[in-house]
Amino acid sequence: QSLNENASGSRTGALVPPPILEKLEKIDVNPPKGTRDFPPEEMRLRSWIFHNFREVSRLFGFEEVDYPVLESEALFIRKAGEEIRDQLYSFEDRGNRRVALRPELTPSLARVVIQKGKSVSLPLKWFAIGQCWRYERMTRGRRREHYQWNMDIIGVPGVMAEAELISSIVTFFKRLGITSSDVGFKVSSRKVLQEVLQCYSIPEHLFGKVCVIIDKMEKIPLEEIKTELGSAGVSEKAIVDLLQVMSVKSLSELEEKLGSAGDAIVELKQLFSLADKFGYSEWIQFDASVVRGLAYYTGVVFEGFDREGKLRAICGGGRYDKLLSTFGGDDIPACGFGFGDAVIVELLKEKGLMPELNLQVENIVCPLDQELQGAAATIATILREKGQSVDLVLENKPLKWVFKRAARINASRLILVGNSEWQKGMVKVKVLATGEQYEIELNQLE
Ligand SMILES: CC(=O)Nc1cnc2ccccc2c1
């Protein structure tokens, strides 16, 4: 039935109102559990943070990339007992495929690097800002999504890569007014654990699992750690050694324990020396207890923390030299970090560093009566073509309303299109900050 036919098919000329939709009871206007809307005020803060992520990425010569939020579940199936695995937001799609909303970005990066194969020349420096998901029983009321800034360097085996990555995060913090008295980085290397375990012939495929268990050290009772390590096949003696090395307080103490020749010590010393050259020594400290909870890290690991100890880790990352080969790719070294959009906001609030972000519009253009709507549209277009922002009043409104709106949107000036002025090709301009008022020819407007 076309719009101007009534039920019996005759054309009445007037539009026949469509049948009234059954009255819906009000829909739930809230977003799904654990997710957020970004109305203008929240979106301004998010855009400001993301702008700083992007600016730092640009300063470091990184290229922006992105991947589907939806990935094959297989990308994230790791048998290392990770929390990120327990909370995978996965399901079967209509094609009976097992898919998942990505809980992190690194596996997607690995997939694409392998896909690109020889067609990309190393090193790659890629960054992404992507929404990541987890499915938690809402018992804990935590969020099920967050945005993560990721920076990754692919194809560089030396710790210059890690030093560069930490430098980029320091740069980000400094841009936001955060100093090394507010935050620091705990830095260690999983090669410390590897060197302890190598004299216990722990099968390599268990290394990730052991690290994930040890990462829970401060979160669950020591006895449980020992039990979990035992059931993972780590002997009592090995456990004692592991726990001992985890409580080492300094690099020199670690050197006494492990000797000076092992990779762990050599690399960490290099990293601390490079930190000095980058100028961020006061931001980092060795901390043997840093392991991070992702199974695929193989070398240096680090995490940003607030020195008051009130907040969860701000960001974290490390070297993952084996990830690409576990996906069937070549043995390509890689390292990177993730920086979530939640803790940083808590930190900014704590430090009184939240930015004042208001909508800014340069012009509000208002026709003084209906016939001048066309003229107002022409003026708006001319200003916009000059790169000026214009809020064009779209309906016939009293001046009181226009001034109120001008104030709300923080317009710099009000352009009134009146009949008598327009006859002379003029418009009336009111500078809202000063109240200054003048008439001006249209082509004089800049
Ligand atoms: C503080 C916070 O929102 N964390 C958070 C929120 N959502 C996630 C989603 C996936 C993976 C990690 C996540 C972590």
Cα-to-centroid distance, 34 and ligand 1 (Å): 10
Q: How far apart are CA 392 and CA 258, in angstroms?
A: 70
Cα-to-centroid distance, 360 and ligand 1 (Å): 32
pLDDT for the residue numbered 203: 85
Q: What is the pLDDT of residues 131-159, one digit of tens each?
A: 999 998 866 789 999 999 999 999 999 99
Within 13 Å, how many C-alpha atoms sit on residue 105's CB side? 26
Tokens in use for 398?
């009293």
Residue having the nearest C-alpha atom to atom 2 of ligand 1: 342
Cα-to-centroid distance, 344 and ligand 1 (Å): 12
Q: Which pLDDT band holds residue 437 (cuts at 50, 70, 90)?
A: very high
For 440, which DSSP code?
E
Cα-to-centroid distance, 392 and ligand 1 (Å): 40
Counting residues of the chain whose pLDDT is more than 70, the rounded percentage is 95
Which position has the token pair 């079967």?
A: 92
Q: How far apart are CA 345 and CA 353, in angstroms?
A: 9
Q: What is the mean pLDDT of residues 387-396?
A: 97
Higher pLDDT, 435 or 203: 435
Ligand 1 pocket at CB < 6 A: 103, 132-134, 143, 145-146, 340, 342-343
Residue having the nearest C-alpha atom to atom 8 of ligand 1: 145
Query: Which of 70, 79, 215 lies closest to 132, judged by CA?
Result: 70
